[in-house]
Structure 1
C-alpha cells in the first residue's frame, strides 16, 4: 500500500476528542495509508500507523471525503472572520521554563551572561514563536523587554534582552558572545522558531543588531538610532530602522536600511539621539511579522498563524481607532497593500479602512509615513556612505525638501513635527 508523504515525526499534544479507529486514509494524490487519527492541531493531522509510528500530515493533503470525516469527528470549525483560529483554545499556560505574561530575570545562562525575558500570553501550544532579542548601549534590564510587551501580545512574540551588552571595550565581539549564549539558552528552553530570531537595540545596541543578525541565524533586525559597524548586510533579511529626526546617526541609519531594498523601512520620531516612544518599536515588530507572513503566503504551515495575526491586528486596529485613528488607518493600509489580506478578514479591514478614510488627516498621515521613507532614501542615504556619526550637520537640499514637506503636511499628526525636525542640524557632541 502506498503511503502519504510524511512531513515529520512529532510528539502529539493533548487532544480534545477520542482518536479514530484504524482505517485507510486517501490523499489528494491518490496514495493511501492505514492509521488512526489522534487529533487535529491547526492545519496538521496527527496520525498513528499500525506499527506505532506517530507523525503529522497537513489536513489539505487528505481527500475531500476524509477531510469532511476528520472535521466532523474532531468538531473542527472554521474561524469566524476577525477571530483567532482554533489554536486559540490551546494557549500555553503551564509547563514552560518561564511563565507567560510575566518578565523573568535576571537569568544566568552561564559564561557570565544574563538575560531578561517576557513570554506573551498569546503564545500558542504546538507553535514556535519568533524572538526579538534586545541589545542596549548601556546594558539591559526589565524595562528593556517590558517596553515591547504590547507588541509581544499582539504578535505572539517572545522578547528578551541581554544584561551585559553595552558600549565599551567589549563592543562588538564581547557583546556578541553574550548574545550567542543568551539566544542558545532561549532556543533550548522556550518554543522559539530558530529561523525567526530578530535583533534590536539603540545606538551601539542598534549596531549590535546588525552584527548579531549576520552571525546568528536571523530573519532580520530593528536598529534604533543605529548603524552597521562593519557595513555588511544580509539583504534577504528584513530591516526596520528607527531614528530621531536630529539624530547624529540619521545618515548612517538611512544608508544601512536602504541596503535591504523593499525589505527595509525607515521610521522617524521627533527628537535627537534617543530611542523614541515604545509604540514605534511595537510597530516595527508588527511590520516585521506581517512582512514575513505575507512573503510566505504559499507556506500552508503558516495558515493558522496568518489568521491569528489578522484577527489580532483587527482587534488592535479597532482599539487604535478610538484613540489614535491615524495609526489605525496606516495599519489598515498595510494589511491591504503590503500584507495583501484576503478572504473574510479582508472585508472587515476594508470596512474599517473606509470608515477611517473619512478623516483626511488619517489618509495624509499614512501618505506621510511612506513619503518619509522615500525622503530617507533620497536625501539621507548619500551622506550616510561616508564616515561615522555626523554632528551639527545639515545641508540646504535636505532642509529645503523637509520645509516643503512640513508645509504639505501641516496639521497632520506627527508628520509635520517630524518634517520640521528634519530641517534642523543633527545634535552636537
Structure 2
C-alpha cells in the first residue's frame, strides 16, 4: 500500500472541514485524517494528478467493484492494489509512454524494478523534481510564453512550474497548453462540448478531447484530424499514421504531422468553424478551408454507402481569413455535390452578398491554387485596390446573369485574373 498519490495542500484545499479539524487540534495533518477516515469516506480529491471519474472509466473492473461495494472508491483500489498492479491511467493529463520517453532515467529505473511504473515515480519524486513532461498536450515552454503572468509567478518562486499552474487553474480556465489543442476552436466547432463542460461533465474542452473527442477523430485545432487519416473510412490516405496512433506512438494525427508529415510532403487539411475564423496552413502541401466540418456516415446521391466521410459547411454569414503557409497551398472556396448521374456546384460564402466571403492572405502567385465551384463562366474577377475580388455573377443555366452578384473571396496581393488563372481549379457541376 502506498499513499504517494496524496498531496497535502490539495487535499486540504478541497476539504476545508479537515483544515478546520487540524486547526482545532484533532489531526496533525491532512494525511492523518485521510488515512483514518477520508479514504473510507470516499474522499477522492487528493491530488491534481488523480481523476476518479477517469480512473474508473479506464478501469471498468474497478468501477464494477466500486459499484458492488468492494471498494469505497477507485482511489481506494488504486492505493491498495492498483498502483502495485501498474495501473497508470489516473488522469487524462498524464501519459505513461510520454513520461518514460521524456525521462529515460525513469524508464531505466522502471525496467530495473526500482519503480513499478512511471506514474509511481512521478508521485514519489517526479512532481517534486519538477518533471513537467507528462503529456504531449502540455508544453512547459509554450505555456509560459503564452501566459506571462504564470511565467512571472514561476520566476519569482510563487509557482514551482507552469505545469503546477496549469493543473491547479489553467486547465479549467481554458488556457492553451500546447500547439496540439486550441480550446476556443474546439468549443466553436463542438458547441455541445461547451455545454457539457458548463454542466460539469468535463472539467474543460481539453479533458473532453482527451477522453472522448480524440477517439472519434474530432479536431482539437484548425488541423483536420480525420482528413489526415482519410476522407472516408473506406479510403485511407495515411493508414500508417492511423496505425501508429492506435499503437500509442503519437497522441494525435497533428502530432505526427508536426514531427514528420509536413516534411514528408503529406497533405493536410486546415479548416474553420461555422463562424468567423482565421485559418493558417503550414507544411509542404495544405488545403485551407474557412468553413466548418462534420464527420458523418458516407453517402452518395442520398444513399448511405458505408463508413464515415468528411462534410463541409457552406460559409453563409461568415467572414473568414485564410492564410497561406510557406508550402503549396490550395484555398478551397466550393465543392461539387454528386447526384444520381449528375453533379451540382456548391460554392462557399454564397447567400449574403458582400457580407460573407473569404479573405485570402499570403497567396503566392504561380505556386498556390484556388478551388471554385462550377466553371469559370460563373465568375467575374474584379480588381479592388491591392486585391482581386472573386464574384459569382452568372448561373450555369444558359449563362444567365444573377439578379444580385455575390462576393465569394478577396485575394490579397493579386490584381488581375491573369496572375491566378493558371492555378484556378473548378469543382465542376451545374450552378443555379
Q: Same fold (TM over 0.5)?
A: no
What TM-score does the superposition give when structure 2 sets the normalisation length? 0.25
Between structures 1 and 2, the one with greater helix share: 1
Q: Which has the higher contact order (CA 8 A, sep 6+)?
A: 1
- Determine which structure has more spread, i.e. the larger CA radius of gyration: 2
